[in-house]
Amino acid sequence: MEAVKTQDVGVNDLPWKIEYQADRCTMCGSCVAACSFKAIKVVTQGRSLTVSEGSQPEPKHTHVARPIIKQVASLTDFCRGCGMCEKICPNNAIRPVRNPDTRKALLSKDNGPIKRGGRTNLNAQRTLDSIVVGRISQMTDPSLDAARHTFDIRSPFGRVLSAKELPFELKDGKLVQASHTPPVDWIYPLIFSDMSIGALSTRAWEAVAMAVGYLNEKCGLPVRMSSGEGGMPVKLLESDYLKYFIIQIASGHFGWNRIIKAMPHMVTDPAGILIKIGQGAKPGDGGLLPEAKVAEHVQAIRGVPKATLASPPNHQGLYSIEESVQKMHLSMNAAFGFRVPVGIKCAASATSVSVYNNLLRDPYKICGGFFLDGIQGGTGAANEVSLDHTGHPVVSKIRDCYNAAVKQGLQGQIPLYGGGGIGMTGDAAADAFKMMCLGANGVFVGKVLIQLLGCVGNEHGRCNACNTGKCPMGICTQDPRLVKRLDIDRGAQKIVDYVLAFDTELKKLMAPIGNSSLPIGRSDALVSTDKAVAEKLGIQYVC
């Protein structure tokens, strides 16, 4: 054997191996056509057979060349385990199998750090899983009927002034408003997190947007959706549906030229502005849209050429909280006539409480929401080392921020929203309820939405190829051939059904503790089976 062959990449070095049964295969070619990663191919295999067909032994030697399916041994075109081949094969002749002996992480750094999408692979254990609702109203005080009672499931988005700060005065025996108050909207405590046009396919983004419109118009649930970095279509900016969208401005400022030009033609104000400082999946790192996903419509919306779009790690010129308040928050409020709440999104970290404290003390009362994103949040593209080894769980930071506000008597003035792994087990309502009991006013979800659309990526290394532009489900790709795989109407319906179930489940958890409104800060309703978690969060430990 030549020495060089020993260093070539083999199938055993890859994270997934293709299990193929040639005797079942009819060579229809469906699996090869469906594989967006080109991880399998048709090759010819020679077979030598010696058979005897007569009544007397008369062995005959024959040579047969037959087509078979073979896995590609490559670190670029390798199997991601999406299972599309297995799903489409009419004869159950092929399927991906996880390879525990993979060496890919070691071998694939010849061209620099590994990039991928999805969630962290190393931090799947969640704090929320060790917390349960432990206080049930029985003989102490009445529980509520989840099916018949009226519940007030609304959260504020905007700066909430204390009673002493409200600018009201008596004139001629009447209470009149003396000056302007910060805008506050009451929304549903489940926000669809920022996923841009570019990160998602046009069909996927449209499916999520359709679900938002239906939930607001037909179901009476004021769900809001963040646009993500990169702008929005002009038709949407100039439509009445803009009132359901939170426009995000991130450090790259992509798409904002078009948004500014559309302002004079907007028939309604947006639901809010979200200034993204950082995200939990890759804290301290800017956004990244690989060149493969910068299609023509993305170039038009963002005003850029076809190239990899990397956002800076911070907003240029904003190097302190004070500067952020004066420049970014004040300018964004002024741009919309102080009618639109402006929030800020940060990655959960050891500095989160310091940021929140400074925003609470802001004399302008500008900040209308503090969005904290934890390490288990998803991303469309990031360096794997950032995804797996940086960040902070969101639960304890939400609790720390809430407690810091309580100590100052300022709780509830800047609404807290938490995200990052919410709904990872499929039960987003339970996660949201626990987060609210710990101090959050609501939660934001992203990965759950694309899973409802059909995403098969998980925290154990399946698929997570959002960054390649080859998403086999047509969700995180701009390839027209792949995008057609996604059914917009069915995807929107799945999201609507999930949110309606979320609403019912949230009531099922509020009723037993006797709450008809959201249980913000009701940590007495929670217990933990983990002593360290109980001590950190200040809740009861049970065993």
The CA distance from 8 to 323, in Å, is 54
- Name which of 27, 31, 21 is nearest 44 in CA terms: 27
Q: What is the torsional sign of CA 233, 293, 199, 39? A: positive
The CA distance from 187 to 271, in Å, is 9
The CA distance from 375 to 281, in Å, is 5
Give me the residue label for tokens 């926000």. Answer: 191
Give me the residue label for tokens 């409200």. Answer: 166
Tokens of 537: 């969060």
401 is in an annotated binding site: no
466 is in an annotated binding site: no
- Cβ-contact 248, 271 below 8 angstroms: no
89 is in an annotated binding site: yes
Please list, in sequence order, all residues whose beta carbon lies within 8 angstroms of the beta carbon of residue 3, skipping any fewer than 6 positions away: none
- Cβ-contact 105, 42 below 8 angstroms: no
Q: Is 445 left (phi over 0), alpha (psi -120 to 50) or beta?
A: beta
Locate all alpha helices (DSSP H) within 56-143, ordered by sequence. Answer: 84-88, 104-107
Paired sense of beta strands 367-373 and 342-347, if any: parallel
Gyration radius (Cα) of the chain, Å: 27
476 is in an annotated binding site: no
Q: What is the torsional sign of CA 114, 115, 116, 117? A: positive
Tokens of 335: 């741009």
User: Which segments of 221-366 are extended strands (E)?
Assistant: 224-226, 245-249, 272-276, 288-289, 309-310, 342-347
User: Could you give the 3-state DSSP secondary structure of residue 309?
Assistant: strand
Please list, in sequence order, all residues whose beta carbon lies within 8 angstroms of the beta carbon of residue 133, skipping any fewer than 6 positions away: 433, 434, 509, 512, 513, 525, 526, 527
DSSP-derived letter for residue 75 is S
82 is in an annotated binding site: yes
User: Mind giving me the DSSP string for 321-353?
Assistant: HHHIIIIIIHHHHHHTTT-S-EEEEEE-STTHH
25 is in an annotated binding site: yes
- Name which of 289, 235, 228, 222 is nearest 265 in CA terms: 235
Cα 444–chain centre separation: 8
Tokens of 91: 């004869």
- Name which of 488, 478, 444, 451 is nearest 199 in CA terms: 478
C-beta atoms surrounding 163 within 10 Å: 6
Binding residues for [4Fe-4S] cluster: 25, 28, 31, 35, 79, 82, 85, 89
Binding residues: 25, 28, 31, 35, 79, 82, 85, 89
